[in-house]
Amino acid sequence: MSSKKAKFFCENCGAEVEQDSRFCKKCGRFFTSVRCPCCGFVGPANIFANGCPKCGYAETGTKNKNNYNIQAKRKNADAPLPIWIYLFTIAVLLGIFSAIVYLYST
């Protein structure tokens, strides 16, 4: 009986990454969660340690039992960043702008 060990891949470039990686070392994409390439289930990396908790998918090469090829089909590869990143960036920029205006007005 062989045990399955989950492999993790960047959705943006397809490079294999470590389970606890926060960004892809090849393309720099930031990871906020893990998405199963077979069923689309999304969650934290720690629940994917033995494969997808929803469908049981675990990568054993470049194809699974349904001949799903990770390199050929990357869903949401161009998906935007989470909204909190945009809001945080806007808040920081507004803070910097306010500080500059305050310094020049006094």
pLDDT of residue 59: 62
- pLDDT value at residue 77: 53
Q: Which residues of the chain have pLDDT under 70?
A: 1-6, 59-79
pLDDT confidence of residue 69: 46
Write down the pLDDT at residue 22: 80
What pLDDT is stored for residue 4 in this prediction? 59
Neighbours of 27 (CB within 10 A): 12
pLDDT, residue 99, reads: 95
The Cβ of residue 19 has, within 10 Å, a number of other Cβ atoms equal to 13
Provide the pLDDT for residue 42: 81
